Amino acid sequence: MLKDFKPVLSILLRFIIVYVVLLLSYQFYLNSFAQLGLDPFSRCIAEKVKDLQNFMGYPTSLYNDIKGQQIYFKVKNIYATRMVEGCNAISVMILFASFVFAFYKGKKTFIFVFSGLFLLYVMNVFRIVGLNIVMTDYEQYGKMAHDFIFPAVIYGTVVVLWLIWIKFFALKK
């Protein structure tokens, strides 16, 4: 009977191992920057958001709150939003990569994961830009945008990438 479930258990075990290893590595990374405020990856995203918003005509500056481990976006002279570690989408990226590695298919797995991570990075930058614009120009929709619309965008991207991986790569002979 266990023989029948061996493929499923193998996939599940790979997922759990990759997920735990990536999660522990990320936590180690965060702990190493705890005294410096927000981690460098989150700062990088904040800088990209600021650059894109300035390019789009939304004058933006950043205020670094080291003690609070956050960065505030000042858009059009309004403190529109703040970015904390959870806004960097790393936890979503870890979940995405763990699932894809659970259905490991050699070299193409790494190519797909790196391509997917890049797409998620770009989508996350646009998600934060969109949220800043909503909070600046349409504040009455801010809570709905933050809690429902923009999470649906990032998680929806992950689900679409998973479906592509399964349909065109993992189950293909």
Tokens found for residue 42: 């989150």
Model confidence band, residue 35 (pLDDT cutoffs 50, 70, 90): confident
Q: Please, which residues have CB within 8 angstroms of residue 21's CB and are 6 or more apart in sequence?
A: none
**What CA–CA distance (Å, rounded) separates 156 from 154?**
5
99 residue type, one letter: F
Helices of type H across 33-89: 40-55
State the pLDDT at residue 36: 85
Calculate Rg over the CA atoms of the chain.
Answer: 19
Given a cut of 70, whether residue 133 has pLDDT beyond it is yes
User: pLDDT (tens digit, 9 = 90+) per residue, 56-73?
Assistant: 999 999 999 989 899 999
Given a cut of 70, whether residue 173 has pLDDT beyond it is no
Given a cut of 70, whether residue 1 has pLDDT beyond it is no
